[in-house]
C-alpha cells in the first residue's frame, strides 16, 4: 500500500519519491538549509521541526501545513499543553461563527483541471451534510478560500494553513502535476476535505504520533503556541479512519467517521 502524507496537508508533506508510507507537500529546501533559529521557532509553535521545507512565503511543516514568515517572526506565548495520545485536536484559532450560520465561499482556480470541480463539490457536500454552523459554497468570485495549483516541483499532495483573525486560511495548494487530471473523485475529495479541515482549525488526528498513519519513527509534538487542544468526546483509542489523519493511502476514500462528526459538531 502506498501512503501519501498530505500534509495529508495540513497539511494536510513527504517528498514525492515515496516508498511505502509517505508523500508530502511542497519542498524546495531541505531542513539542513533552514536556519537553526527558524527550526527552534517552529518547534516552539508546536510543530515538528523534522522534514521542514522552505517554500514560497514561508515553511511547510508536518507535510501539509503552511507557516508564513510573518507568523514565524511574530511574538507568541508558548503554552504547555497536555501531551496527546489519540484524541482529535484543534488549534487555538477557529473560524468565528457568531449566533448564526456562516458560509465559507470556496473557489477553484482555472489552473486546476476541470475534472477537479466534482471533487470540490463532494468535499463541500460532506461538510454541509453535517448541518454545522459553518457551511461551504463553491463560487466563481468573492471567495474566502481559493483552491489552486501547487508549484510544478511540489513534493506534497496538498497544503493549507490555520485560521487567523476569526477567518479561515485562504488558500489550498493542490499538486495536480502529481495527481493528474483524473485522480478519482472520492480520493481527491478526501484530500481536499482534509485541507479544508486545516483551514477551519483542525490539526491531525494523529498529532500524538504521526507514525500511526505515516509509518516511520514515533513523533509527538508536545508544547505549542498554535494549540493542540483535545476535542471532548473524541476517543482515547486509535482511530484508523479519521479524515484528519496525517497520511492517506493512494486512492483511498475517507469520509467523516462517527468520531469526526463528534469533533465537527463540537466545534461548529
pTM: 0.76
Q: Name 3's bridge partners.
A: 249
Query: Can you list the positions of beta strands (E) in the chain?
Result: 3-5, 53-55, 58-61, 65-68, 89-90, 102-108, 134-138, 145-149, 158-159, 171-174, 229-230, 247-249
Q: How far apart are CA 207 and CA 116, in angstroms?
A: 29
Which residue's C-alpha cell is 499538486?
A: 175
pLDDT of residue 200: 94
CATH code of the domain covering residue 14 = 3.40.390.10
pLDDT 10s digit of each residue in the chain, 268 long?
A: 444 545 433 333 333 433 222 333 333 334 447 888 888 787 777 677 777 888 888 888 877 788 878 777 775 444 433 333 444 544 557 899 988 899 999 999 999 999 999 999 999 999 999 999 999 999 999 999 999 999 998 888 999 988 888 999 999 999 999 999 999 999 999 999 999 999 998 887 765 665 666 765 555 544 444 445 556 556 655 678 889 888 888 899 999 999 899 889 888 9
Structural domains of the chain, count = 1
Q: Which domain holds residue 260?
A: 3-267
Res 150: pLDDT = 94
Cβ 7 vs Cβ 150: under 8 Å: no
Amino acid at each position: 500500500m502506498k501512503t501519501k502524507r498530505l500534509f495529508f496537508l495540513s497539511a494536510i508533506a513527504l517528498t514525492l519519491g515515496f516508498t511505502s508510507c509517505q508523500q508530502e507537500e511542497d519542498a524546495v529546501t531541505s531542513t539542513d538549509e533552514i536556519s537553526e533559529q527558524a527550526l527552534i521557532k517552529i518547534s516552539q509553535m508546536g510543530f515538528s521541526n523534522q522534514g521542514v521545507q522552505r517554500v514560497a512565503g514561508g515553511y511547510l511543516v508536518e507535510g501539509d501545513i503552511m507557516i508564513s514568515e510573518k507568523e514565524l517572526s511574530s511574538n507568541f506565548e508558548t503554552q504547555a499543553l497536555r501531551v496527546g495520545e489519540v484524541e482529535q485536536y484543534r488549534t487555538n484559532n477557529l473560524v468565528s461563527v457568531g449566533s448564526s450560520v456562516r458560509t465559507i465561499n470556496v473557489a477553484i482556480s482555472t489552473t486546476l483541471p476541470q475534472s477537479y470541480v466534482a471533487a470540490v463539490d463532494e468535499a463541500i457536500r460532506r461538510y454541509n451534510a453535517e448541518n454545522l454552523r459553518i457551511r461551504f459554497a463553491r463560487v466563481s468570485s468573492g471567495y474566502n478560500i481559493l483552491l489552486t495549483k501547487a508549484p510544478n516541483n511540489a513534493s506534497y499532495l496538498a497544503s493549507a494553513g490555520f485560521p487567523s483573525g476569526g477567518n479561515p486560511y485562504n488558500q489550498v495548494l493542490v499538486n495536480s502535476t502529481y495527481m493528474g487530471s483524473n485522480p478519482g473523485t472520492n480520493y481527491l475529495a478526501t484530500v481536499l476535505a482534509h485541507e479544508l479541515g486545516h483551514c477551519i482549525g483542525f490539526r491531525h488526528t494523529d498529532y500524538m504520533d504521526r507514525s500511526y498513519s505515516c509509518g516511520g519513527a514515533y513523533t509527538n509534538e508536545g508544547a505549542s503556541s498554535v494549540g493542540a487542544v483535545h476535542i471532548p468526546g473524541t476517543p482515547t483509542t486509535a482511530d484508523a479512519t479519521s479524515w484528519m489523519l496525517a497520511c492517506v493511502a493512494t486512492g483511498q476514500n475517507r469520509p467523516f467517521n462517527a468520531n469526526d462528526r463528534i469533533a465537527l459538531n463540537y466545534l461548529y
